[in-house]
Structure 1
Amino acid sequence: MRFTVDRLDHIVITCREVEKTASWYQRVLGMEREEYGRNRRCALKFGGQKINLRPFGVEGWTTADDSMPGSQDLCFVTAVESDDVIDHLTKCGITITEGPVERLGALGPTISVYCHDPDGNLIEIASYQA
C-alpha cells in the first residue's frame, strides 16, 4: 500500500536549557507553553503545530542519532509585515542576522528575516507577499 503525508504535526528541538528556550519562543514568537506526560515534558504550541523541547543528553527519548542543540534551521510564517517583525525582534533584544530578504516558501514568494534562538538554531520568520 502506498501513502502520502498530509502535514507536519510536530518537531523536536534538542536544547541545552529547556526553561531558557521555552521562554524565548514564548516571548519572541508568541508560542503557548504546555507540559505533558508523566515526565512533565515541555512543548510549545502555535497554530495547529507544536514543538517538543528535548533536553540534551536526557535518556528516554527516541531521537536522531546525532541530535545536538543548535542544529536546526526553522522557518515560521506570520501575517505580519517584515518591518513589524524587525521592530518586534529589536524590542525583544534579538540580533537580526539577515533580512529582510526575498525567499521562496512552500506556497510562493516570501520576505524573510533571520535570527537565532538561545541554542543557536537558525530561525526564519517569513511573510508571504500579497
Structure 2
Amino acid sequence: MRFTVDRLDHLVLTVRNTTLSASWYQRVLGMDIEEYGRNNRIALSFGGQKINLRPETENGWTSAEGAQPGTSDLCFTTALQCHDIVKHLTACKVEITEGPVPRIGALGPVTSIYCRDPDGNLIEIASYQG
C-alpha cells in the first residue's frame, strides 16, 4: 500500500493580532470567522478548508519551529475574472504588489494578482478564468 494525502485540510498562520487578521481575511477574501476550542481560538473557513490564526505571543500551540508573522506565501483561487479582483481589492484599499500576471497553478494556467495581508504574508489570488 502506498501512502498518499487527499487534500490540505487546514493550515496555521502565526499573526500579530488575530482580530485584525481575521477581519482582513473576512473583508478582503470573504472568509468566515469561527471561534473554536479552548481559549476561543480563531479560524477562518472557506470552501472545505480553514486557516487557524495563532497569536505570536500565545503558548500552548504545536507549531512550526520558529513560526513568525509574515513568513508565508499563500495562493487562493477564485471564480472571478482578474479585472473584478482588481476592482474589489481597490475598493478594499488593498495595495496590489504585482499583477495581473500569468502563472501556473495546481490545475494549469492561471492569472494571478498579489497583495499582502496585515502581517506581510504574500497573498496570491489566482483565477483560472483569466
Shift of 1:82: 0.5
Q: Tell me the secondary structure at the aligned position of residue 38 of structure 2.
A: coil
Q: Distance in 2 between the 1:77 and 1:116 partners?
A: 15
Q: CA RMSD in A?
A: 1.0
1:97-117 CA distance string (max 9 Å, x none) = 000000000000000000000
Q: Distance in 1 between the 2:41 and 2:118 partners?
A: 19
Determine what percentage of the aligned residue pairs are the same residue.
Answer: 67
Q: Tell me the secondary structure at the aligned position of residue 111 of structure 1.
A: strand
TM score, norm. by length of structure 2 = 0.97
Shift of 1:53: 0.2
1:70-94 CA distance string (max 9 Å, x none) = 0000000000000000000000000
Answer whether contact 1:109 1:129 (CA < 8 A) is retained.
no
Gaps of 5+ in 1: none
Q: Tell me the secondary structure at the aligned position of residue 28 of structure 2.
A: helix
Q: Distance in 1 between the 2:85 and 2:12 partners?
A: 24
Shift of 1:58: 1.0
1:35-71 CA distance string (max 9 Å, x none) = 0002110000000000000000211000011100000
Q: Distance in 1 between the 2:16 and 2:85 partners?
A: 26
Quick one: which amino acid aligns to residue 7 of structure 2?
R
Q: Distance in 2 between the 1:10 and 1:17 partners?
A: 19
TM score, norm. by length of structure 1 = 0.97
Quick one: which amino acid aligns to residue 21 of structure 2?
T
Q: Give the aligned partner of residue 119 of structure 1.
A: 119
